Amino acid sequence: MLQQSGTSASLLEEEQPLEPEQVAQVVLEALQDDRLLILSHPEVLDYYRRAETTDRWLSAMNRLRQRLVPSTEGRS
């Protein structure tokens, strides 16, 4: 996935990327603990807590994703 991230690769690699198995383990643990909010990176919880509202945080994360992932709309 990182290899396909183009110019965003350096930004994404600043933090240690997780392997799919690591993410799967985090998800399984959250499901076992009956947690609704599943965050694979613990530091993301700090970002979430600093947000004034959930909608504002989600909007900011969506804007960040849009900058990092080129749009595929209109492509065949």
pLDDT in tens, 23-46: 999 999 999 999 988 887 877 888
User: What DSSP string describes 10-27?
Assistant: HHHTTS-PPPHHHHHHHH
Lookup: tokens for 39: 């965050």
Distance CA 32, CA 12 (A): 29
Backbone torsions φ then ψ of 49, nearest 5 degrees? -65, -30
Checking if the pLDDT of 63 tops 80, the result is yes
Q: What is the pLDDT of residue 73?
A: 53
Lookup: tokens for 65: 């994703």
Identify which of 29, 64, 24, 28 has the alpha carbon closest to the alpha carbon of residue 44.
64
Q: What is the pLDDT of residue 6?
A: 60
24 vs 50, more confident = 24
pTM of the model as a whole:
0.51
Q: What is the pLDDT of residue 76?
A: 46
